[in-house]
Structure 1
């Protein structure tokens, strides 16, 4: 019996010695770093996203102790893919919204983490954004997003190929009305009958109208002025615009089946020999489309810049279900304030995706990699933190548009529909999606379609929505006067 006990004790001692020797001989494996999943707007491949994510992770791992996994979705698929992931509980930690309605739906169902308390931990980020911009990111009084640092005022207008303007001998500054623009498109069509003078952007031919849409366009402030909320689609101005666009369409000036086209304006310009496209004209926006088309473009502006809450149509959110909210805020602050990080997310890797001209300026590289990094300026947390993109010869992309700004009296106001009105709002928006782009692309004859559009909106309850919006705006004005 004693012999058995002795052997058992010896075996245990040997086993313990082996364990100690093994522990001493092999260093303890470090815990893996947290992975922050970041979703951006773009059309890059998975390989390109992995490549840029790894480059960004080298920076964040050293500075903050986490890595970044990047994914992208195009403008067309962005909202649908995000909604699918939300249903499955697989949304990214950090993501952006791409329009006001998208922001409100995310906030209403509790998807976005309220940021008021978090922001106190990140004073650099808080101070980098003006208070009026923060005010535009609120829903039911709660801060739900970090605003993208895009222009807060843009002009209604178009981007036109500079070479075509030069060939026609037309000065862009002389084009100040839709009638002037019509004359340009006619001249371009006569010069090259096989061309499509005006191309859409993902089915939308006119990107901006002369109003403050007050977030969802169901009740607007005409001409971005005053405080009377009106039904845009009932106005003579809207009817006149629909008639103009239908005339352009029948004259062959707009891409046929434009509202059914699921492609960006930059690609359609190349595919159809396009001359121009509608645009929200501002400094950084001009740079973005020039970089994408790889053509010299000239801005055409129709009036002053407009500033309203809806111009700030992109913001960055933290998922309320994320296990890495603090790291997500660290990442946003880093991308918002650090040039190296901003350059990487916007342009890619220097010498691979773009060429640096000097400390402050970059341009397109001669030969892009197979897994090209494809982004847009407006789809970044802070495109203005990045180096300035210029033409290949070093000349800056010129912005010669208006500098005067018409600021809406509702700038900073965000409309939150009453709970009982939200089904009505959704029904009205579906009707707008059914008719609006088709009318403003000239695809539908307004004589037939506009009465149907108006009738369906009234039947769905748009007047109740407008009354609610007017009431909320008046209360907001009284509080903020």
Structure 2
């Protein structure tokens, strides 16, 4: 993975974690959380052996004080239904990849873990540390198969086998432009009429002319370029060799030589020279949230999903509104960022799969994992809407993971008061309607060109921020970038990726 792609993926996960409470809770497809059970425990007169599972997952809030109390309630459900008890093991996000890989290497007891691209998923598969899940899914994964579109379930396949199961969550994004509603209303800027970058430019000009103390456009995150949150291709993991338009007949191109990229850079340069862009964007260390809170900016290019405006409005403390610039698109990277996997050394893989499957079909379990104990950590406002109990806040709540997007089927989770109670139905429609990349499910094995990828990534890291923030003249600098990329071995990487992509398609991988 290129440094740019790795940075985007990692920061994307951080932003996902920090904004988790912006998409809290929800309803099933019927609008209310169902109480469907997962795989039932075997019947019979003899007591059944209880399998104990260690379940490791990432957290940005540490270990909740009431974790064991919630765990006890979870185990009442799981022992009754599937003869399983769980030991929940939240691990700090920053240490997650290293700690889990150490535990896997040392054969420490792990029965179910969060896996994904930012945490070394491909390496874990190649080292044989994860089990193929196909047979387990066939035997114990009925809820998973019912909840997940096969396109998303099959996206984690390596050499024809499924190694990870993504949560039911937002599995697509749309290009967008997010802006302050007060300023948009003040100057008659209608988000519904903004459909292209030309329309965005017209809005930026208004703000530049009318609000001299406000920067019209800022990056969508610290260390991001203006194009980090604007997609026109499937980067297929490392961004070295891409599919324009998410198709292109599965023929890869060098994005840095493409007419689309050259045109985007020219636009960024013209916006920079017109004063529409944050001038120090190439060295900016402030997030879009910080800059917006400080009343320094009007808007930013964004990755949209249902509920995004409400999420950003809460984080910023100002009402935000977004214009959609593209149809939603789903790529392999969306799926591989966060998944669940079963370690090869798991004590009882069937028990691990039974618990994983229960997270996709049992609303009571899902809401315990997401929100804790009713009456203690939340109270119901209506059937599928909740709030904190009187005197309790997010900061004082004893079970404050706020990661409903992680634990199985998010569409079974309650919605917090103030959220759209129909958010999960809208999210399902968003996922279903998304354009699926023609390379959905393809993952490159980078081992044979890892030296070239490292060299190419170093070159990209030297250039992409200054180019994609408009800070330099692309007519002069872009040719320099491409010359150095070729010298670093870019053509060899693309050729190898194309070879693997062709073989994948020939073997039936192509949708």
Structure 1 length as normaliser, TM-score? 0.76
- Measured at CA, do residues 246 and 335 of structure 1 come closer, stay the same or move farther in structure 2, by a change above 3 Å? farther
Partner of 2:324: 301
- Partners of 1:347 and 1:295 in 2: CA distance: 26
Secondary structure at 1:410 match in 2: coil
Contact map agreement 2:57 2:89 (CA 8 A) in 1: yes
Higher deviation after alignment, 348-357 or 158-167: 348-357
Partner of 2:498: 470
- 1:66 counterpart = 2:85: yes
Within 5 A, what are the aligned runs for 1:280-291?
280-283=303-306, 289=312
Contact map agreement 1:54 1:68 (CA 8 A) in 2: no
Unaligned runs of 5+ in 2: 1-48
Number of aligned residue pairs = 445
Partner of 2:237: 215
1:172 Cα offset (Å): 0.7
- For 2:437, which of 408, 412, 422 is the aligned residue? 408
- For 2:70, which of 31, 45, 55 is the aligned residue? 55
- 1:224 counterpart = 2:252: no
Deviations 1:432-468 (A, max 9, x none): 4454355434456645653443233222222122222
Whichever of the two has the greater Rg, that structure is 1
Taking only aligned residues, the RMSD between alpha carbons, in angstroms, comes to 4.0
- Partners of 1:255 and 1:60 in 2: CA distance: 54
- 1:450 counterpart = 2:478: yes
Within 5 A, what are the aligned runs for 1:33-432?
34=52, 36-40=54-58, 42-46=59-63, 48=64, 50-52=65-67, 54-64=69-79, 65-74=84-93, 79=97, 93-99=111-117, 102-124=120-142, 125-188=144-207, 190-191=210-211, 193=213, 197-205=217-225, 206-227=228-249, 228-248=251-271, 251=275, 253-254=277-278, 256-257=280-281, 261=285, 265-266=288-289, 269-270=292-293, 274-283=297-306, 289=312, 292-293=315-316, 296-312=319-335, 313-323=337-347, 325-350=349-374, 356-362=380-386, 367-370=393-396, 373=400, 375=402, 378-389=405-416, 391=418, 405-417=434-446, 419-432=447-460
Secondary structure at 2:329 match in 1: strand
1:151 Cα offset (Å): 3.6
Contact map agreement 2:110 2:345 (CA 8 A) in 1: no
- Partners of 2:490 and 2:195 in 1: CA distance: 33
1:354 Cα offset (Å): 5.3
Unaligned runs of 5+ in 1: 1-30
Contact map agreement 2:113 2:341 (CA 8 A) in 1: yes
Contact map agreement 1:353 1:369 (CA 8 A) in 2: no
- Partners of 2:379 and 2:266 in 1: CA distance: 46
- Measured at CA, do residues 70 and 260 of structure 1 come closer, stay the same or move farther in structure 2, by a change above 3 Å? farther
Partner of 2:34: none
- Partners of 2:298 and 2:448 in 1: CA distance: 46
1:59 Cα offset (Å): 1.2
- Measured at CA, do residues 403 and 477 of structure 1 come closer, stay the same or move farther in structure 2, by a change above 3 Å? closer
1:147 Cα offset (Å): 1.8
Secondary structure at 2:352 match in 1: helix
